Structure 1
Amino acid sequence: MAVDYYAVLKLTRNANQEDVKKAYKRLAMKWHPDKNPVDHKEAEAKFKQVCEAYDVLSDPQKRQIYDVYGEEGLNDEVEFDVAAPPPPPRRSEPDDIFNEFFEDQNSWQRAFKKTCNGGGGSGRSQKSGGGKKAAAVESKLACSLEDLYKGARRKMRISRTVPDNFGKSKTVEETLKIDIKPGWKKGTKITFPEKGNQEPGSSAADLIFVVDEKPHDVFKRDGNDLVVDHKLTLLEALTGTFINLTTLDGRVLPIPVRNIINPGYEEVIPNEGMPISKDPTKKGNLRIKFDVVFPSKLSAQQRSDLRRVLGEVDN
């Protein structure tokens, strides 16, 4: 069940950073395991939950993602595209959070490390395996323009080698979830920390998926804009026409063309381009580039009529 971090700290959603700090300080001191020797296990569980809530709500990036996507948004992936929201840093350990907040209270630091790690030492170094970290492994994630427009979820089944309890390599399989966010661009990176291969005595490599955009039959992407090439007859270019264009989310967009189409002319439809990843409620433009198809031949009567009509227009 998803945890309501605001409820954990007994805060409303419009609480400011000072409110978050005060609530954490009060509850962390209340539920610290060393302050509750009788109900030690219950206190430790509540203390860790308080630390986790503070870790998210005290960080503007994490808090913004949590407010929009909930706890799942903090767990699924980290996204490094410069045009997208900054990635949330990895979750901190409760002792790190407490130590940073109460950095001048060394006895509390030692007490909590002893409580959580069974007598000292850093739990994090035990999980990471120590040693140097292997180079990250990158793999392409092919996405259709529709996926990048509407968003999508992918499940990627991976196989990797890790050392067993005796230091011998074994193969493990795992399914990773990737939530493709509307507006992501080619080159966006989704990082799964330590989900690559691991050698004995070293930390596992990070696994990175890099978004690759598939070509589309109708649309081309130009930043946040979508570009469409459309052919017109000479008659349509001079007298106007009506275009029905099917968008990437399946809507039929009626577009009247009333202007005379000159060479290089573009019809611009605001807010019908790609979603902007920083704010998916906003979109770029749809730009229609026209190619006027001239007739291959004209009869003598047609030439005469054109001279008469266009001559009258010129006069």
Structure 2
Amino acid sequence: MGKDYYDILGIKKAYRKQALRYHPDKNKSPGAEDKFKEIAEAYDVLSDPKKKDIYDRFGEEGLKGGGPTGPGGGGPGTFSYTFQGDPHAIFAEFFGGRNPFEQFFGGHNGDENMDTDDPFSHFGMGGSGMGGFPRSFSTGMGGMGGMGGMGSHTSVVKKQQDPPVVHDLKVTLEEVLSGCTKKMKITRKRLNPDRRTIRTEDKILEVQIKKGWKEGTKITFPKEGDETPRNIPADVVFVLKDKPHPVFKRDGSDVVYTAKISLRDALCGCTINAPTLDSRTVTVTSTDIVHPGMKRRISGEGLPYPKRPDRRGDLIVEYEVKFPERLTQSARDTIAQVLPRS
């Protein structure tokens, strides 16, 4: 006779603590790993309506294709089941990825000598049958994915997402002008296929910098942070920061260039060649007196507008007048004669 899955899950009131008792992390006795796998296999069958129905009618032989099949035998036809699941992954999913030993047993860490009459009472699963499950428990549980009988009571073990991991991403004004792709390497923790052990790996994230993006723009990569059995990985967020520029200052979509001119040029008029972000120069002529802090605006020579990258802000030329450190007496006399007193 094949395995009796109902018996494996504990007609004798054992299932309430079997998953915890036979977990290999807690039970080092011979056969515990096999027993733990049997419990997971039984759970996989009985929590799936189709597999449970075949098992109820034909037993393990019929479920696994070994019993009478087809119309003549009344069996399940071509259906054949083989357990392919990871018992540790099922265990982790059942308990929401957290440490149930700590939750149920606190500081005693799952001591089997403790009174563990009903560790699943937190889930509202007391009653008769398989250690708290009625024989037809799959009706209320909706299979491994839904598990309605448990889902409404498992908020205490619901995984929480870690807070975002924020990195500054420095860009030049030239990169903002043309747009670019930045490749950022991050080091993170990831679960191995057994869903228990953790590896450290590097990953390259490609950040698309679009034309005109302003400082403070955030680019989010969902769930690329550290992963453990107990968490939802954090989002990785890059925040744009402008690198200091040797020539320009940024003012939104405008760029500011400071032109230093002499007092003579400020009074008599001057022409300067102002540089641009794309390595050209524009000629700016002033015939009027230039006051300190005076500005000239050259349209369309700034950065692209973030929402209208086909249009650009302005280049602002800001004058800085350099006063002489000393004057000869002759120069003083000349200036005194020429300039008005008020």
TM class, shorter-length: 0.5 to 0.7
Structure 1 residue 285 corresponds to structure 2 residue 310: no
CA contact (8 A) 1:150 1:249 kept: no
Alignment of 1:1-315 (within 5 A): 131-166=159-194, 167-310=196-339
Of 280-289 and 301-310, more deviation after overlay is shown by 301-310
Classify the secondary structure of the residue corresponding to 1:185. Answer: coil
Q: Which residue of 1 aligns with 2:5?
A: none
**Which amino acid in 2 is paired with 1:132?**
Q
Cα distance change of structure 1 residues 298 and 173 upon mapping to structure 2, 3 Å threshold:
closer
Classify the secondary structure of the residue corresponding to 2:232. Answer: coil
Shift of residue 216 of structure 1? Answer: 1.0
CA distance in 2, matches of 1:204, 1:268: 48
Classify the secondary structure of the residue corresponding to 1:301. Answer: helix
Classify the secondary structure of the residue corresponding to 2:250. Answer: strand
Of 299-308 and 250-259, more deviation after overlay is shown by 299-308
Q: Which residue of 2 aligns with 1:30?
A: none
CA contact (8 A) 2:257 2:274 kept: no
CA distance in 2, matches of 1:252, 1:262: 23
**Which amino acid in 1 is paired with 2:282?**
L
Cα distance change of structure 1 residues 119 and 170 upon mapping to structure 2, 3 Å threshold:
closer
Of 299-308 and 206-215, more deviation after overlay is shown by 299-308
**Which amino acid in 2 is paired with 1:138?**
V
Q: Deviations over 1:229-257 (max 9, x none)?
A: 22111111122222222212212222222
Larger-Rg structure? 2
CA distance in 2, matches of 1:234, 1:172: 61
> Number of paired residues?
189
Q: Deviations over 1:27-48 (max 9, x none)?
A: xxxxxxxxxxxxxxxxxxxxxx
CA distance in 2, matches of 1:250, 1:150: 13
**Which amino acid in 2 is paired with 1:164?**
N
**Which amino acid in 1 is paired with 2:297?**
V
Q: CA RMSD, aligned part only?
A: 2.6
CA distance in 1, matches of 2:288, 2:304: 28
Q: Deviations over 1:115-172 (max 9, x none)?
A: xxx9976xxxxxxxx8322211111111122212222211112221111122111122
Of 296-305 and 262-271, more deviation after overlay is shown by 296-305
CA distance in 2, matches of 1:248, 1:190: 25
**Which amino acid in 2 is paired with 1:190?**
I
CA distance in 2, matches of 1:248, 1:120: 56
CA distance in 1, matches of 2:292, 2:234: 54
**Which amino acid in 2 is paired with 1:208?**
V
CA distance in 2, matches of 1:292, 1:268: 18
Please give the TM-score of this superposition, normalised by the length of structure 2: 0.50
CA contact (8 A) 2:277 2:302 kept: no
What percent identity do the matched residue pairs reach? 39
CA distance in 2, matches of 1:119, 1:298: 91
Classify the secondary structure of the residue corresponding to 2:316. Answer: strand
Structure 1: which 5+ runs fail to align? 1-117, 122-129
CA distance in 1, matches of 2:306, 2:273: 27
Please give the TM-score of this superposition, normalised by the length of structure 1: 0.54
Shift of residue 215 of structure 1? Answer: 0.9
CA contact (8 A) 1:134 1:198 kept: no
CA distance in 2, matches of 1:296, 1:131: 70
CA distance in 2, matches of 1:133, 1:224: 36
CA distance in 1, matches of 2:145, 2:330: 99
Shift of residue 178 of structure 1? Answer: 1.0
CA distance in 2, matches of 1:209, 1:301: 62
**Which amino acid in 2 is paired with 1:152?**
C
CA distance in 2, matches of 1:255, 1:213: 27
